[in-house]
């Protein structure tokens, strides 16, 4: 099995470029199913989720090329083949195939999605939306069957402002007859990105990025070219890293507007941040002045749940007790046990983690339990004295493109190594 080995305490300096947004890519790629001619999407991150989606589109008859971050998808010969198992199970966002295939073919069979286990993440809001548009939905043998004679626009109120449900309903509604209104829609930048692609394909969508989205169904969608937005979660991860061990780091290819909640919280801790048009510079931070803060995760534009795990590492270096309350995913604290192995002073009480610093972190053998927990452990390993060995790195590679190369360019001592699984099991 492959692991990351990190020798910590190196100071980092230079420029690091942010890749395209994972949470956009996993929706933009399925959206291409709705077109009647080729779609080209630039800036797609080289992550395992993107390769998995490429394979899924090929399974249903798509012609797909993916090179240098550019994916070209010819959906002309796609057919509504069932996708009950296999690649569908590898990523959470395979559920976007439901909306896209329902929109184009009026039917789909999709296995229940996989991805990081963060506690219950039901797709009931997605199903409620599809049913409102006229689809019949059943769960048979662990796969979701969607069937519709035709899709007709409807008014849909989401009980929770879910990004996945908002995008999925948009995908199903763009080719439906009449008007669809999504109320209490999520407002994340990735939703605007998907709406922009669909609009460029000929869809009629108003209000993406607000809590009410209006869609007038059209007869057909055509191919187009689109460039994905930068990944705000990756950018935030690098900002936290720059604060923890930077000698002056420029984070390039960012939209600062998407990072306002994170910038505000880092400044509250005592981190200096200089904002450019498409870049952010974090000068060297004096860790002896780093202050504890309280964070509550919220839907966008609030503090993102995806960033509480990396931020907890910086909190371990701040003076006093910091608190993180995660209102989105209560099970998103598995990294705390791993950080404790590295000498962090942290505990979990209900849906709150309490981290008291500053602590000197020690290298250890730890396990990435999910994507952002993995990112947190990479940061901890870069900070810690001695060597850190991270297992289950496939989680990290689902969401961070070329991470080792990017970090080494800044001066990090990180490498990927294959170790014997028997040795790994013995350690566990």
Closest CA to 81 of 54, 111, 52: 111
The verdict on whether residue 341 carries a ligand-binding annotation is: no
The verdict on whether residue 294 carries a ligand-binding annotation is: no
Q: Is the peptide bond before 402 cis (omega within 30 degrees of 0)?
A: no
- CA distances, 271 to each of 122, 130, 314, 385 (Å): 37, 45, 11, 23
DSSP 351: T
Closest CA to 148 of 181, 112, 176: 176
Q: How many CA atoms lie within 13 A of 350 on its CB side?
A: 4
The verdict on whether residue 75 carries a ligand-binding annotation is: no
Element (DSSP H or E) covering residue 269: helix 260-269
Closest CA to 164 of 105, 121, 205, 226: 121
The verdict on whether residue 124 carries a ligand-binding annotation is: yes
Q: How far apart are CA 78 and CA 99, in angstroms?
A: 15
Q: Which two tokens stand for residue 257?
A: 């507007």
- Given the DSSP bridges, would you call strands 136-140 and 143-147 parallel, antiparallel or unpaired? antiparallel
The verdict on whether residue 45 carries a ligand-binding annotation is: no
E-assigned strand segments in 191-276: 204-206, 212-216, 225-227, 246-252, 274-275
The verdict on whether residue 120 carries a ligand-binding annotation is: no
Task: Give the angle 425-427-384 at the CA atoms, nearest 5°.
Answer: 130
The verdict on whether residue 328 carries a ligand-binding annotation is: yes
Q: Which of 91, 116, 144, 344 is catalytic?
A: 116
The verdict on whether residue 144 carries a ligand-binding annotation is: no
The verdict on whether residue 121 carries a ligand-binding annotation is: yes
- The arrangement of strands across the sheet holding 387-391 comes to 365-367, 387-391, 2-7, 413-418
The verdict on whether residue 306 carries a ligand-binding annotation is: yes
Is 268 among the catalytic positions?
no
Annotated binding site for phosphoenolpyruvate: 22-23
Residue positions in the annotated binding site for UDP-N-acetyl-alpha-D-glucosamine?
92, 121-125, 306, 328
Please list the active-site residues: 116
Annotated binding-site residues read 22-23, 92, 121-125, 306, 328
């Amino acid at each position: 099995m492959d692991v990351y080995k990190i020798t910590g305490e190196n100071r980092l300096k230079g420029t690091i470029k942010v890749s395209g947004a994972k949470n956009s890519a996993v929706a933009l790629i399925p959206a291409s199913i709705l077109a009647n001619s080729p779609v080209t999407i630039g800036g797609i991150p080289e992550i395992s989720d993107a390769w998995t989606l490429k394979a899924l589109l090929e399974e249903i008859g798509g012609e797909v090329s993916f090179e240098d971050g550019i994916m070209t998808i010819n959906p002309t010969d796609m057919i509504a083949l069932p996708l009950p198992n296999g690649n569908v199970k590898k990523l959470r966002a395979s559920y976007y195939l439901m909306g896209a295939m329902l929109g184009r073919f009026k039917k789909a069979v999709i296995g229940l999605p996989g991805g990081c286990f963060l506690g219950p993440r039901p797709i009931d809001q997605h199903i409620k939306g599809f049913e409102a548009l006229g689809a019949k939905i059943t769960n048979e043998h662990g796969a979701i069957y969607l069937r519709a004679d035709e899709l007709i626009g409807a008014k849909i109120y989401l009980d929770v402002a879910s990004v996945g449900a908002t995008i999925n309903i948009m995908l199903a509604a763009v080719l439906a007859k009449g008007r669809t209104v999504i109320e209490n829609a999520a407002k994340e930048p990735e939703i605007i990105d998907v709406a922009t692609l669909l609009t460029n394909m000929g869809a009629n969508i108003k209000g993406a990025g607000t809590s009410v989205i209006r869609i007038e169904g059209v007869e057909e969608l055509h191919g187009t070219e689109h460039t994905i937005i930068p990944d705000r979660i990756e950018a935030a991860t690098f900002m936290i890293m720059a604060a923890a061990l930077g000698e002056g780091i420029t984070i390039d290819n960012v939209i600062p507007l998407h990072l306002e909640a994170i910038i505000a919280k880092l400044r509250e801790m005592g981190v200096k941040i200089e904002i450019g048009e498409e870049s952010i510079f974090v000068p060297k931070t004096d860790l002896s002045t780093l202050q504890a803060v309280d964070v509550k995760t919220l839907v966008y534009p609030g503090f993102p749940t995806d960033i509480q795990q990396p931020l907890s590492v910086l909190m371990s270096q701040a003076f006093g007790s910091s608190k993180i309350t995660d209102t989105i995913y209560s099970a998103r604290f598995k990294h705390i046990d791993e950080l404790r192995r590295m000498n962090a002073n942290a505990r979990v009480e209900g849906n709150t983690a309490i981290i008291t610093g500053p602590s000197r972190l020690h290298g250890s053998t730890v396990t990435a339990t999910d994507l952002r927990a993995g990112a947190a452990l990479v940061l901890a390993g870069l900070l810690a004295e001695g060597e850190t060995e991270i297992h289950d790195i496939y989680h990290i590679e689902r969401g961070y493109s070329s991470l080792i190369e990017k970090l080494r360019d800044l001066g990090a001592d990180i490498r990927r190594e294959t170790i014997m699984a028997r040795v790994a099991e013995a350690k566990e």
